[in-house]
């Protein structure tokens, strides 16, 4: 059983997709053992409680320095024995200290097709506002590994979503979540738990299931 910590900041719909996938036996033996919120009051914490998953708050505002925040976050991750860290709507940028400690073991869901509409300042509705402002006909979501560059790690999964006439940032965000994010994140976690991912530089290669079975 691979121990998974999920980091959240908001409503937790991506966390819920992971919880539901685990319940359906679709996380390939992965188990969510802790939810860590970047702020108190995040509804994602209520989703965790409803699923019987221990929740913790590690908030920058409560820490006297970035180093203290890193120590608190690493302590929470080590305490639950996290082997995979999943950023699910997590709005805090992880330091190089944390990223290095969990190198190639942190996944993030971004609500656009990286390298479009990503990087510093592109999060939540801002991503969809930018997509609509550019008049793109297709957007989508990306699951990628986290490195020291915001949204810069190896891309693992992507799925395109059509932009419709009359879309607002809110309607587009909802469609991207429903049609892409909530499908991709559980699938990415399952691939990681199956050990089917190889990272070569900026590329994440996925071995076919039968090829993987032949090797084991
Ligand atoms: C949403 O904008 C989603 O697209 C992005 O983070 C925000 C909140 O997600 N991944 P969640 O409902 O908290 O999972």
Tokens of 195: 């050990």
pLDDT tens figures, 58-111: 999 999 999 999 999 999 999 999 999 999 999 999 999 999 999 999 999 999
Rounded to an integer, what distance in angstroms lies between the CA atom of residue 22 and that of residue 32?
8
Residues with CB under 6 A from ligand 1: 8, 10-15, 44, 88-89, 109, 111, 124, 173, 177, 181
138-145 and 106-110 beta bridge pairing: antiparallel
| Centroid of ligand 1 to alpha carbon of 209 (angstroms) | 29
pLDDT tens figures, 35-51: 999 999 999 999 999 99
- Collapsing DSSP to helix, strand or coil, 57 comes out as strand
Q: What separation in angstroms does the CA of 11 have from each of 46, 63, 124?
A: 9, 23, 11
Residue nearest to atom 6 of ligand 1 (CA): 89
Q: Which atom of ligand 1 is nearest to the CA of 127?
A: 2
Query: Is 12 within 8 Å of 47 (Cβ atoms)?
Result: yes
Tokens of 99: 């990223």
| Centroid of ligand 1 to alpha carbon of 216 (angstroms) | 36
pLDDT tens figures, 165-187: 999 999 999 999 999 999 999 99
30-37 and 55-57 beta bridge pairing: parallel
| Centroid of ligand 1 to alpha carbon of 88 (angstroms) | 7
pLDDT tens figures, 116-146: 999 989 999 999 999 999 999 999 999 999 9
Residue nearest to atom 10 of ligand 1 (CA): 89
110 catalytic? Reply is yes
Q: Is the dihedral of CA 150, 144, 153, 81 positive or negative?
A: positive
């Amino acid at each position: 059983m691979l121990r998974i910590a999920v980091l959240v900041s908001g409503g937790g719909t991506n966390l819920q997709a992971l919880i539901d996938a685990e319940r359906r036996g679709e996380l390939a033996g992965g188990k969510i053992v802790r939810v860590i919120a970047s702020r108190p009051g995040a509804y994602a914490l209520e989703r965790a409680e409803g699923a019987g998953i221990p929740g913790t708050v590690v908030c920058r505002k409560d820490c006297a320095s970035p180093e203290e925040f890193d120590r608190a976050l690493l302590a929470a991750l080590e305490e639950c024995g996290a082997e995979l860290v999943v950023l699910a709507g997590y709005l805090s940028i992880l330091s190089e200290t944390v990223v290095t400690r969990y190198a190639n073991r942190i996944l993030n869901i971004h609500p656009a097709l990286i390298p479009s509409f990503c990087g510093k300042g592109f999060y939540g509705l801002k991503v969809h506002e930018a997509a609509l402002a550019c008049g793109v006909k297709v957007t989508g979501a990306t699951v990628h590994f986290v490195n020291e560059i915001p949204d810069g790690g190896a891309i693992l999964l992507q799925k395109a979503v059509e932009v419709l006439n009359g879309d607002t940032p809110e309607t587009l965000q909802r469609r991207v979540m429903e049609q892409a994010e909530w499908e991709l994140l559980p699938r990415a976690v399952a691939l990681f738990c199956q050990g089917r991912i190889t990272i070569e530089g900026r590329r994440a290669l996925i071995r076919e299931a039968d090829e993987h079975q032949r090797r084991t």
